[in-house]
Amino acid sequence: MAGWFDGAVIRPYEARDRAAVRDVCYRTGFMGEPVAWLWRDAESFSDMFSGYYTDEEPDSAFVVEVDGVVSGYLLGCVDSSRAWNPVAVAGRHIVRRALVLRPGTAGFIWRSIADVARDTATRRVDPRKLEFSDPRYPAHLHIDLLPVARGAGAGRRLVATWLDSLRARSVPGCHLGTFAENTGAITFFETMGFVRHGEPMVVPGFRTRTGARMHEQLMVQSL
């Protein structure tokens, strides 16, 4: 696909892009900013949020290059029931690499456990609703861009390319999750045809830089 500004191009993901995608994933993991202040282990974080797509469903992934460097991506999944559960992926890393004892991850893990216990006890969260499943919206996506790839339409082109590919396969709909606090992302997805689905739900472990609880907003689009 031809570039839309000098030195930029969107193309299908290739196996050689894996390390770059993982790097972008970690560098944009907190609402487009580096997540290291919250989770200081790049390997496990990248596995949780990019591993399935690069390793099991690479045909549903696209990257944006700027001057030959992968600077963003859209990672898609046609059938969400096949995707890895990020919590299960984190669990494997916690057991194998003792993340529960490591500075930079231990605090998040213990806080998450406490959040789940507290939210369940107070019925703030229904555990049965933590995983979204709806046959009307079987596909989902993750999209992240480094600053160098923002502001020139890369996000729009990536999402449009993904939605067109779903329509070509007669997939009925797509969903995504984004932080409710990330108002810019919500506005962007709304311009791409997504609508909010349900009320925002608190997310265990995650905090803003000021220490406030964070919430996930589910969004959907029929195709």
Domains of the chain with CATH codes: 8-172 (3.40.630.30)
* pTM beyond 0.75: yes
Question: What span, in angstroms and rounded, lies between the C-alpha atoms of 75 and 70?
Answer: 13
Confidence of residue 151 (pLDDT cuts 50, 70, 90): confident
pLDDT tens-digit readout, 124-147: 776 556 678 999 999 999 999 999
What band does 1 get if pLDDT is binned at 50, 70 and 90?
Answer: very low
CA distance 19 to 30: 19
How far, in Å, CA of 55 to CA of 15, rounded? 9
Mean predicted confidence (pLDDT) in 39-63: 97
| Strands annotated E in the chain | 8-12, 61-66, 69-77, 139-145, 173-179, 195-196, 201-207, 213-222
Matching residue, tokens 């329509």: 167
